[in-house]
Amino acid sequence: MQSSRRMLEVREVGKVWASRAGNVVALEGASFAVTEGEFICLLGPSGCGKSTLLEIVAGLLEPTTGEIVMDGERVREASPERGMVFQAHALFPWRTARENVEFGLEMRRIDRAQRQRLAEQLIALVGLSGFEESLPRELSGGMCQRVAVARALANSPKVLLMDEPFGALDAQTREELQREITRIWQETRTTIIFVTHSVPEAVILGDRIVVMTGRPGRIHSTISNLLPRPRDATSPEFGATMRTVYSALEDARRA
Amino acid sequence: MNASRRIVAYLAPITGFLVLFLLWEAAIVVFHPATVVLPTPWQTLRALLSMAQSDKVWADIGTSLFRVAAGFAIAIVAGVPIGIALARSMFFREVLAPTLEGFRFVIPFAWIPIASLWFGLHESGKVFITWYAAFFVIAFQTEAGLRQVDERLVKAAKTLGAGSRALLRKVYLPAAAPMIVTGLRLGLSFAWISILAAELVNAKAGIGYFTMNAADFFRSDQAFAAMAVIGVIGFLMDRAFRLLERRMFAWHRSTDAIQ
């Protein structure tokens, strides 16, 4: 199903924060490549620099060392080619669900009628038809994240960056959205880089799981996850993959 | 809100007003002041009613409102862009902010003598005072509003393709709008307060001048009535703005909390 084209490369990326207590190395020598259409999970303990890495990939942060290369070009600033969904939804609170989804289309100067049509399609894609005119404060956390996904997809990004998007949701909503994002990924064929600190989440979602160490963040190993989809979290194969990932994470913690 | 709660909400302010009225009446019964010192509530009410039939009084109110509107409008045109510049440019902030903050403590009333020296009785002097009264709070509220915009919204907008102009127009300004409008509301009330002071000192028209003039002619009843008019107009302007805030910023939960 996937083409094997390397569409995005993280090359030796490091990030150092200057603080009063001296320099803090947040990230060191991170490298991996993403294939078109792939679902990659970045897994690691809190504070391991995985969100920092994702923001560097997005072009929102400048790496101290190394570079991000996308389609042969160095990433220098944020671009709608790399859509992003944040941990807390980061919707514009003064815009309705539809207007949030339309934001990127407005930036591209697409006319009103077409904007509205595209936004309605995307809202249907994320399962929120009927809530187009609701404000974010009128929607639940899970619904807001659905809008945030639709908003990022509106620009047809080449890669969708997701920073612990379901971290703040209750367990049930979380599982529901994991199924949803899998479906959306399969329907849109968008490449996804998904940051999480949850092993089950990484195993449910990822084609490959990039395991990171804590402070400074380094890449420990990459585990490929070939379990067939839809994935059954109760199957013995799932359990075996979970154990592999847990032991890698444990090893990373000790490293 | 249920019906009885609503009735209480309407009756409560009226009660407060009636208590004031009663205390006023009581003071007159107890102290028997001369009318020129303290007119009775009824004399004041009568003065108010006769003033309501006087074209000259309406013209005075109009004059004051015009001065406030003109100064307020200039304060918006100057204050909002300067607030934006303060929020967006470190250089601008470092150069200008301390000076502006210093001026903030030089209250508008301090400028009244200078304004009459510069402008005499000309309208521009009064407009200058109302502009000055409204300008700082508008500029600083705009700056504060822009600086407290959630960084995540800015990041989200950047990944959606927003450049710096779009960021300002579609993220920073709408996000800061509730605080900016609060600044406008405060600016308008400051302008209203200061125009009255300016008219008391140096004017030949306006509701402040009317108040001063009434007292000069020992018409305390008219002076009190004019003071009531001033209070009611200020109150109504403030309420209108609050209504606007609540209508416009339904998305902004803490709008009610900003005083």
Quote the pLDDT of residue B257. 40
Residue A79 pLDDT more than 70? yes
> Which DSSP symbol is given to A158?
S
Whether A195 contacts A36, CB under 8 Å = no
- Which position has the token pair 């918006």? B76
Pairing of strands A208-212, A39-43: parallel
Residue B28 pLDDT more than 60? yes
Residue A70 pLDDT more than 80? yes
Chain A closest-CA separation from residue B237 CA (Å)? 25
Quote the pLDDT of residue B202. 80
3-state class (DSSP) for residue A47: coil
Which tens digits make up the pLDDT trace of B193-219? 999 888 988 888 999 999 999 999 999
Q: Is B170 on the interface with A (CB under 8 A)?
A: yes
What value does the mean pLDDT of chain A take? 93
Q: For residue B249, give the chain A residue with the closest CA.
A: A94
In this complex, the residue of B152, B162, B253 whose CB is nearest that of residue A88 is: B152
Whether A51 contacts A195, CB under 8 Å = yes
Which tens digits make up the pLDDT trace of A121-171? 999 999 999 999 999 999 999 999 999 999 999 999 999 999 999 988 999
For residue B142 the two structure tokens come to 């705009």
Nearest CA-CA partner of B160 in A142, A232, A107: A107
Q: Is B117 on the interface with A (CB under 8 A)?
A: no
Cα B184 from chain centroid?
Answer: 8
Quote the pLDDT of residue B139. 96
Quote the pLDDT of residue B150. 94
Nearest CA-CA partner of B126 in B173, B81, B71, B177: B71
Quote the pLDDT of residue B248. 84
The C-alpha torsion from B204 through B208 and B212 to B215, rounded to 10°, is: 140
In angstroms, rounded to a whole number, what is the distance separating the alpha carbons of residues A162 and A84? 6
Quote the pLDDT of residue B7. 84
In angstroms, rounded to a whole number, what is the distance separating the alpha carbons of residues A6 and A4? 6
Pairing of strands A22-35, A39-43: unpaired
Which residues of chain A are within 8 Å of residue B249 when distances are taken between CB atoms? Answer: 94
For residue B133 the two structure tokens come to 């009264």
Which tens digits make up the pLDDT trace of B71-107? 999 999 999 999 999 999 999 999 999 999 999 899 9
Sheet with A219-224: strands ordered across: A82-85, A159-163, A191-196, A39-43, A208-212, A219-224
Asked casually if ipTM beats, i.e. exceeds, 0.85, the reply is yes
In one letter, which amino acid is B130? T
In this complex, the residue of B160, B175, B251 whose CB is nearest that of residue A107 is: B160
In angstroms, rounded to a whole number, what is the distance separating the alpha carbons of residues B231 and B116? 25
Domains of chain A: 6-81+157-254 (3.40.50.300), 91-156 (no CATH)
pTM: 0.87
Query: Would you list the DSSP string of A58-76?
Result: HTSS--SEEEEEETTEE--
Q: Do A151 and B175 touch (CB under 8 A)?
A: no
In angstroms, rounded to a whole number, what is the distance separating the alpha carbons of residues B213 and B204? 9
Nearest CA-CA partner of A145 in A124, A128, A120, A130: A128
Q: For residue A92, give the chain B residue with the closest CA.
A: B153
Which residues are CB-contacts of B94 (< 8 A; sequence separation ≥ 6)?
Answer: none
Strands (E), A87-218: 159-163, 191-196, 208-212
Angle, helices A112-125 vs A141-153, to 10°: value is 130
In this complex, the residue of A79, A83, A90 whose CB is nearest that of residue B152 is: A90
Quote the pLDDT of residue A115. 96
Q: What confidence category does residue A191 fall into, taking pLDDT thresholds of 50, 70 and 90?
A: very high
Which residues of chain B are within 8 Å of residue A108 when distances are taken between CB atoms? Answer: 161
In angstroms, rounded to a whole number, what is the distance separating the alpha carbons of residues A220 and A249? 8
Quote the pLDDT of residue B247. 84
In angstroms, rounded to a whole number, what is the distance separating the alpha carbons of residues B107 and A68? 55
Which residues of chain A are within 8 Å of residue B152 when distances are taken between CB atoms? Answer: 86, 88, 90
When pLDDT is averaged across residues B100-121 and rounded to a whole number, the result is 91
Q: What confidence category does residue B1 fall into, taking pLDDT thresholds of 50, 70 and 90?
A: low
Chain B closest-CA separation from residue A83 CA (Å)? 6
Which tens digits make up the pLDDT trace of B141-159? 999 999 999 999 999 999 9
Which tens digits make up the pLDDT trace of A47-57? 788 999 999 99
Which residues are CB-contacts of A236 (< 8 A; sequence separation ≥ 6)?
Answer: none
In angstroms, rounded to a whole number, what is the distance separating the alpha carbons of residues B234 and A232? 67
Query: Would you list the DSSP string of B195-243?
Result: HHHHHHHS-SSSHHHHHHHHHHTT-HHHHHHHHHHHHHHHHHHHHHHHH
Which tens digits make up the pLDDT trace of B214-245? 999 999 999 999 999 999 999 999 999 999 88
Q: Is B248 on the interface with A (CB under 8 A)?
A: no
Q: What confidence category does residue B120 fall into, taking pLDDT thresholds of 50, 70 and 90?
A: confident
What value does the mean pLDDT of chain B take? 91
In angstroms, rounded to a whole number, what is the distance separating the alpha carbons of residues B233 and B60? 13
Residue A230, preceding bond cis, omega within 30 degrees? yes
What share of chain A in percent tops pLDDT 90? 85
